[in-house]
Structure 1
Amino acid sequence: MQSRIIRAAAIGSIAVLGLTACSGGGEDGGSEGGSLDVWIMQGTNPDAEAFFDDVASAFKEETGADLNVDFVQWGDAHDRFVTSIAGGTTPDVAETGTTWTAEFADAGALVPLEEHVADAGLSDDLVEGLVEAGTYDEQLYGMPWYAGVRSLIYRSDIFEELGLEAPTTWQEIVDAGEAIQEAHPDMNAFAVPGGAEFITYPWVWGAGGEVAADDGGTWTSQMNSPESVEGIEFFTGLQTEHGFSSAGATTWDEVGVLDSFTAGDTAMAVMGSWTPATIVEQAPDLEGNFAAAPIPAEDGGIAPSVLGGSHLSMFNTTDDEDLSFAFIEMMTTGEFADQWAAETGYFPGQASLLDSAVSSDDPLVAPFATQFVDGGATLPVTPTFGAVQAKQTTNTAIQSILSGDASVQEALDSAAAEMTELLNAE
């Protein structure tokens, strides 16, 4: 069986998994000019256009090539990748979510990176788990860029007003939610989104359940085990039983959760370590009025949370591997990697850059760091997990529960059957 929780004895050994206009490959680059086409994901990150303007200037100075960055919404990205791979219109380099890299490598769309990484002298300074997630058939196809984790974000001003402490058990979530509901009936005491699968899994793991288990290459989903059912009953019950979340949240993805929080309509929600900067950017009046805490397990401790992240991958449509890797190296090491981590709240993929991020005394960084180190979990490491995500298996189950179309057991029985079939598809 796959181990879901990785506790870091040393920060460099943290295992991470996540998390994620068609253009042709770049022209001849390097010192002779040319251009490089890159896709970068967006949706819950802070606005990155100014950052990549600086990257483009540095890239032009270093290589003589122009950098063409296309920002792609996470929600649209997987389908767009699949379409572009089929049509041979992939970019030179793209940000790939860690659960997608093996899928795209299996499709033959990516260029192995190990030789480039070794030539750059970087092989021994990459976060081990991101390397594992980016490795398929013993070849590295995803260069570790950054890692993030989801924890509990809450309105500290409202908690202070009501004399509440950050919840450390599930019962304390309910107690806090009831107090908020009474004092602020127009707010979502706790957001329960139906379209955000990574926000769902901590409740499975927090009750002792599993997503799926590998037995000699055969995967079996355990989403319908008694423990998993208990966890999902609690999570969905925050809406169906306690009324903490609006009915409209049934269709929310993580962007919907973020939008509700920045609008001042939600008091507690599970959100990523990268979202505090976005919250302040979108709602400056909330600065100093919200805080973070690890997601509590049922009876205390930390509920595991998906350690999501991204690679930078080189696609086989590139005309210049050296130019493509020059961009990858610029983004994943040194100044720009450190700046990206500092500005976004992500943890860098270069092990030597992790210390300052994890030792931060910032109250909106330290709780995520605790979750990252002591409460991180992985999803099935297989190319077929991308098919589970594309099928929206978990989201469909949660939405059917929240809308009253199925009981928790019925919904998870269906989800487990579909997940098992997809995970073992040839």
Structure 2
Amino acid sequence: MRTRLLPLAALGVTAALALSACAGGSTDDGGGATDAEGQTLDVWIMQGTNPDSEAFFAEVGDAFTEETGAELNVEFVQWADAHDRFVTSIAGGTTPDVAETGTTWTAEFADAGALAPIGEYVEGDDLGGDLVEGLVESGTYDDELYGMPWYAGVRSLVYRSDLFAELGLEAPKTWDDIVAAGEAVKAAHPEMIAFAVPGDAEFGVYPWVWGAGGEVSVEEDGEWVSGLDSAESQEGIGFYTGLATEYGFSSAGATTWKETDVLDNFVQGNVAMALMGSWTPATIIEKNADLEGKFAATPIPGKDGGISPSVLGGSHLSMFETAENKDLAWAFIKLMTTGEFAEAWAEQTGYFPGQTSLLEQTLESDDPLVTPFATQMVDGGASVPVTPKFGAVQAKKTTNTAIQAILSGQKTVEQATADAAAEMNQIMNGD
């Protein structure tokens, strides 16, 4: 199975879902979802690069209590710590009732037996025809739906438009344009990072792999084969890391940066260009109102033009098997992923909604901080391997370790990618 580009058709209405019996009971309005006074639903929501959402969930909690009688207990978990925390809680049987699960984790947690299938609930509320298919695909494991599409996001190139105007630059359309812009920024503003190259942010790596014609991992005759050590992938990774090691556009400190560090430094005015998510513009303005109108976005340029594919990421809301009242858990999931709260979340955060009907409204936007990300998602959205094993690759930080080794000068591009490919193959094909 090759890494799939996800054009508009693949982002649209889901034709069919393999729906299964849900272990948690029925969707009857007379059941435990609407008469749950005295009960509490425990929920984990991720945070990090998205805008502060405590006020939003306070409103959700009020609506949830009004609808069900139950209290909502939301705990915010940092993305960087979340995977290890999930693994620990699954092993100890201490998982929440519902949690936000990243799209590359849902299959992993379902494979571990931690998640409850939700297909019957989706079918019972007639929601299957209005779900973004790319999110349904990543939320499905062994023909069962375990992740309810909540939102999608994609990374594009974010740049300081005020500096570009000052220097007479246009938004980069090729890799050579990126270098030319970086050189101009470096000469005029040597105090700035012309292009941030974070060493601990794997989803910022894959666009350069795909943009050069490489692959992350493909399934051939039942076995996963990493493409990180191909000539194409090495060219793309070499270009990306070379922005730091060859051109000096980044900094030594960025070798250990996560995406949150890129965001923080952009907010502080230290970064001129970086790959950042569709959800970050709202956060940038929230944290530094002086930057409003001074930055813009553009799809990640292809090597010689066009668009380099970017990971179509996002999140599901998943129900855990430990949830005592699964009807109540579904009531929360439905409240969050459909209707007014789903629409409000998309508007406030810059994420793309998980319902096709709401997504179509977003794609019609002429907002200069929405349109480029929408173009990236529609014309250059891609998927990492949909398999529980890829979550283990992420947990091992296989790709990040390779990038850090290159940035720090410990390994050549060829050595680092060969080691990463071997480790990825071992993990993806292990028992």
| Pairwise TM-score range, normalised by the shorter structure | over 0.9
Q: 2:197 aligns with which of 188, 192, 198?
A: 192
Counterpart residue type for residue 4 of structure 2: R
Report whether the alignment pairs 1:2 with 2:6.
Answer: no
Q: Give the Cα separation in 1 of the matches to 2:12 and 2:36.
A: 38
Which residue is 2:302 aligned to? 297
Q: 2:273 aligns with which of 268, 271, 283?
A: 268
Q: Give the Cα separation in 2 of the matches to 1:45 and 1:118.
A: 31
Which residue is 1:346 aligned to? 351
Which residue is 1:85 aligned to? 90
Whether the 8 Å contact between 2:218 and 2:224 is mirrored in structure 1 is yes
Counterpart residue type for residue 368 of structure 1: F
Whether the 8 Å contact between 2:298 and 2:373 is mirrored in structure 1 is yes
Q: 1:31 aligns with which of 28, 35, 51?
A: 35
Which residue is 2:402 aligned to? 397
Whether the 8 Å contact between 1:152 and 1:271 is mirrored in structure 2 is yes
Q: Give the Cα separation in 2 of the matches to 1:54 and 1:383.
A: 34
Which residue is 1:308 aligned to? 313
Report whether the alignment pairs 1:149 with 2:154.
Answer: yes
Whether the 8 Å contact between 1:116 and 1:325 is mirrored in structure 2 is yes
- CA RMSD of superposed structures (Å): 1.2
Counterpart residue type for residue 318 of structure 1: A
Q: 1:255 aligns with which of 260, 268, 286?
A: 260
Which residue is 1:365 aligned to? 370
Q: Which runs of 5+ in 1 are unaligned?
A: 16-27
- Residue 32 of structure 1 deviates from its aligned partner by 3.5
Q: Give the Cα separation in 2 of the matches to 1:167 and 1:14.
A: 35
Q: Give the Cα separation in 2 of the matches to 1:166 and 1:173.
A: 9
| Secondary structure class of the residue paired with 2:314 | strand
Which residue is 2:292 aligned to? 287
Q: Give the Cα separation in 2 of the matches to 1:296 and 1:32.
A: 52
Which residue is 1:177 aligned to? 182
Q: 1:237 aligns with which of 236, 239, 242?
A: 242
Which residue is 1:356 aligned to? 361
Q: Which runs of 5+ in 2 are unaligned?
A: 16-31
Counterpart residue type for residue 261 of structure 1: F
Q: Give the Cα separation in 2 of the matches to 1:162 and 1:208.
A: 32
- Residue 29 of structure 1 deviates from its aligned partner by 6.2
| Secondary structure class of the residue paired with 1:194 | coil
Whether the 8 Å contact between 1:90 and 1:315 is mirrored in structure 2 is yes
| Secondary structure class of the residue paired with 2:164 | helix
Which residue is 1:126 aligned to? 131
Whether the 8 Å contact between 1:8 and 1:14 is mirrored in structure 2 is no
Q: Give the Cα separation in 2 of the matches to 1:208 and 1:238.
A: 19
Report whether the alignment pairs 1:100 with 2:101.
Answer: no
- Residue 289 of structure 1 deviates from its aligned partner by 0.2
Task: Using the aligned pairs only, state the percent identity.
Answer: 69
Whether the 8 Å contact between 1:211 and 1:222 is mirrored in structure 2 is yes
Which residue is 1:25 aligned to? none
- Residue 123 of structure 1 deviates from its aligned partner by 1.4
Q: Give the Cα separation in 2 of the matches to 1:217 and 1:137.
A: 15
Report whether the alignment pairs 1:43 with 2:48.
Answer: yes
- Residue 414 of structure 1 deviates from its aligned partner by 0.1
- Residue 13 of structure 1 deviates from its aligned partner by 5.1
Q: Give the Cα separation in 1 of the matches to 2:416 and 2:14.
A: 33
- Residue 4 of structure 1 deviates from its aligned partner by 2.6
Compared with structure 1, are the counterparts of its residues 385 and 301 closer, same or farther at alpha carbon in structure 2 (3 Å cutoff)?
Answer: same
Q: Give the Cα separation in 1 of the matches to 2:11 and 2:40.
A: 37
- Residue 57 of structure 1 deviates from its aligned partner by 0.4
Counterpart residue type for residue 244 of structure 1: F
Whether the 8 Å contact between 1:193 and 1:250 is mirrored in structure 2 is yes
Which residue is 2:427 aligned to? 422
| Secondary structure class of the residue paired with 1:278 | helix
Q: Give the Cα separation in 2 of the matches to 1:13 and 1:207.
A: 30
Q: Give the Cα separation in 1 of the matches to 2:373 and 2:192.
A: 25
Q: Give the Cα separation in 1 of the matches to 2:49 and 2:222.
A: 34
Compared with structure 1, are the counterparts of its residues 230 and 110 closer, same or farther at alpha carbon in structure 2 (3 Å cutoff)?
Answer: same
Q: 1:277 aligns with which of 279, 282, 287?
A: 282
Question: Map of 1:312-327 to 2, 5 A cutoff?
Answer: 312-327=317-332
Q: Report the TM-score when normalising by structure 1.
A: 0.96
Q: Give the Cα separation in 2 of the matches to 1:167 and 1:314.
A: 42
- Residue 3 of structure 1 deviates from its aligned partner by 4.0
Whether the 8 Å contact between 1:154 and 1:267 is mirrored in structure 2 is yes
CA deviations on 1:134-182 (whole Å, 9 max, x unpaired) are 1111110000000000000000000000000000000000000000000
Q: Give structure 1 regions of 4+ aligned residues with deviation exceeding 6 angstroms.
A: none
